Chains A and B, each alone.
Chain A
């Protein structure tokens, strides 16, 4: 029975010893051989193999928020890393200044970020070193939209995969990203910014302008779940924030002929609590009822309690 040690100090001493052995076997060109010194005596299938890399862990020096009272050895790498910290926050800082994720706001954001991130290499750094986990998902989709046309950038391909995973985890259809990934289908004719706007409508904690349009787009992509979520969520925020005039204007502009039954029912159901205060809701109801009658889809009881 042989086990590998868990003792970091012992591992550290072993590592130093192995490293000396490794350095002594450098070839004549001065290049260090890729010696798997931490596997010399153990075959790869042995357990605790990865823990032999402990030296990389025990060398963890500090965290910036734990430096109280501790002397920090200033090195060139420390100063350079501080500058790079600022560089790596360009995208997140610009995103934090985004006032509203409507199409105009997103368009301005893209202009601004393209002005700051000018090269493919810089975008590679943005994808690699920006902490997108602290931002909503649509911030990531926005980065893809800003680099539409750079589909060959390898880091962007990987980043797009991460975005797909994030959308999948939230129950949003991945086909929404096809227009941003260079995949063209009949359903992926959405403008990149409208894709970002659609996802923003599902994430923002307040009503987003144009959410009904976003819901229609979701419905066209056969993502009924997201379409309904978009309607219910944003109408709820309008009601919560007492934005009745805005809601009424949205109902006024809404074109019944473009919406499917699910969206229409969602609009009428979500606005039912304050139907007496929404003057355009009655017109919407009449138009929807007429549409259903004309298309033969008016079932008994379908519109009960929604008038």
Chain B
């Protein structure tokens, strides 16, 4: 097995040590519960609720974050869970900290390789696995005045719209500016509303037919309505 090494910051190490303070028996119960989840959620918040059934809130959230983070690392580095826990251990400088980590390493490894963690991480990854990803978009509306020949009087005006899109790709951030007229704005609005409807249609159909969970990228309970 090749040797994976990390160089986390002190704050990251503190986060991991905070997780290592969790009662191992509570973690063992959580491991069993997570392994037996029949309908694992696809969003971190859903999984957080499952974690809170066995851990306190200030334990569940940091642990889940570390698990999702390291699972992502595990996928991208094509590592095994045991390599991750070993590398975490090696990143601690003190023997006391390593021994502390040892007490939950098996539990961490088991959770790291569990299906619910894998599904949430994969869902997050697939939601945004594209060459270009939108960061922000706004429509600027301005007025272009029409002047007379001498340029001393305003005789009229034209309202124009500019769609400005900020997006990221592999080579960094980019901006795209597109001129739009009133009809373009209306057409875009209809397309956006239609997309929301299509997403809900296919989501409901999938859940009904496949009896499996389905995630609409970016949508959570708080974004409903």
Q: Are A81 and B3 closer than 8 Å at their CB atoms? A: yes
Q: Are B222 and A45 closer than 8 Å at their CB atoms? A: yes
Min CB–CB distance A191 → chain B (angstroms): 26
14 pairs of residues in contact across A and B, judged by CB atoms under 8 Å:
A5-B168, A6-B128, A7-B168, A34-B18, A53-B68, A56-B12, A57-B73, A77-B90, A78-B5, A84-B89, A124-B103, A129-B85, A158-B110, A161-B31
Nearest neighbor of A129 in chain B, beta-carbon distance: B86
Whether A55 touches B62, Cβ cut-off 8 Å, given contacts A65-B2, A124-B103, A154-B25, is: no
Top 8 A-B pairs ranked by shortest CB distance? A53-B69, A128-B105, A50-B68, A154-B24, A64-B3, A81-B90, A155-B106, A59-B7
Min CB–CB distance B1 → chain A (angstroms): 6
Q: Collect the chain A residues with CB atoms within 8 Å of residue B31's CB.
A: 158, 161
For A152-192 the 0/1 string (1 means CB < 8 A from B) is 00110111011001000000000000000000000000000
Min CB–CB distance B60 → chain A (angstroms): 11
Q: Are B5 and A62 closer than 8 Å at their CB atoms? A: yes
Q: Are B82 and A56 closer than 8 Å at their CB atoms? A: no
Nearest neighbor of A164 in chain B, beta-carbon distance: B35
Residues of B within 8 A of A (CB): 1-12, 14-15, 18, 24-25, 27-28, 31-32, 35, 43-45, 48, 58, 61-62, 65-66, 68-73, 76-77, 80, 82-83, 85-86, 89-91, 93, 99, 102-103, 105-107, 109-110, 121, 124, 127-128, 133-137, 168, 172-173, 217-218, 220-223
Nearest neighbor of B127 in chain A, beta-carbon distance: A47
Q: How many angstroms from the CA of A43 to the CA of B8 in the assembled complex? A: 24
For A1-29 the 0/1 string (1 means CB < 8 A from B) is 11101110000000100010011000000
A242 CB within 8 Å of chain B: no
Q: How many angstroms from the CA of A48 to the CA of B120 in the assembled complex? A: 11
Whether A34 touches B62, Cβ cut-off 8 Å, given contacts A53-B69, A56-B69, A60-B77, is: yes
Min CB–CB distance B76 → chain A (angstroms): 7
Nearest neighbor of B8 in chain A, beta-carbon distance: A56
Q: Are A57 and B133 closer than 8 Å at their CB atoms? A: no
| Other-chain contact of B106, A34, A48, A159 (Cβ < 8 Å) | A159
Min CB–CB distance B141 → chain A (angstroms): 18
Nearest neighbor of A92 in chain B, beta-carbon distance: B1
For A41-81 the 0/1 string (1 means CB < 8 A from B) is 00111011111010111011111111000000000111011
Beyond A64-B2, A81-B89, A158-B106: 13 further Cβ-contacts under 8 Å?
A: A32-B10, A47-B217, A50-B71, A55-B12, A65-B2, A66-B2, A77-B91, A81-B5, A88-B86, A157-B28, A161-B35, A161-B110, A165-B35
For A125-141 the 0/1 string (1 means CB < 8 A from B) is 10111111110000000
> Which parts of A106-146 form the interface with B (CB within 8 Å)?
121, 124-125, 127-134
A255 CB within 8 Å of chain B: no
Residues of A within 8 A of B (CB): 1-3, 5-7, 15, 19, 22-23, 32, 34-38, 43-45, 47-51, 53, 55-57, 59-66, 76-78, 80-81, 84-85, 88, 121, 124-125, 127-134, 154-155, 157-159, 161-162, 165
Min CB–CB distance A3 → chain B (angstroms): 5
| Other-chain contact of B61, A37, A44, A64 (Cβ < 8 Å) | A44
Min CB–CB distance A73 → chain B (angstroms): 10
Q: Are B44 and A50 closer than 8 Å at their CB atoms? A: yes
Q: Collect the chain B residues with CB atoms within 8 Å of residue A154's CB.
A: 24-25, 27-28, 103, 106-107
Q: How many angstroms from the CA of A81 to the CA of B217 in the assembled complex? A: 41
Q: Are B82 and A129 closer than 8 Å at their CB atoms? A: yes
Q: Are A44 and B45 closer than 8 Å at their CB atoms? A: yes
Q: Are A162 and B110 closer than 8 Å at their CB atoms? A: yes
Q: Collect the chain A residues with CB atoms within 8 Å of residue B106's CB.
A: 124, 127-128, 154-155, 158-159
Nearest neighbor of A18 in chain B, beta-carbon distance: B11
Q: Collect the chain B residues with CB atoms within 8 Å of residue A37's CB.
A: 11
Min CB–CB distance B189 → chain A (angstroms): 14
Whether A60 touches B73, Cβ cut-off 8 Å, given contacts A7-B173, A45-B222, is: yes
Q: Collect the chain B residues with CB atoms within 8 Å of residue A155's CB.
A: 24, 103, 105-107
Q: How many angstroms from the CA of A35 to the CA of B77 in the assembled complex? A: 27
Nearest neighbor of A2 in chain B, beta-carbon distance: B136
Q: Are A131 and B80 closer than 8 Å at their CB atoms? A: yes
Q: Are B218 and A47 closer than 8 Å at their CB atoms? A: yes
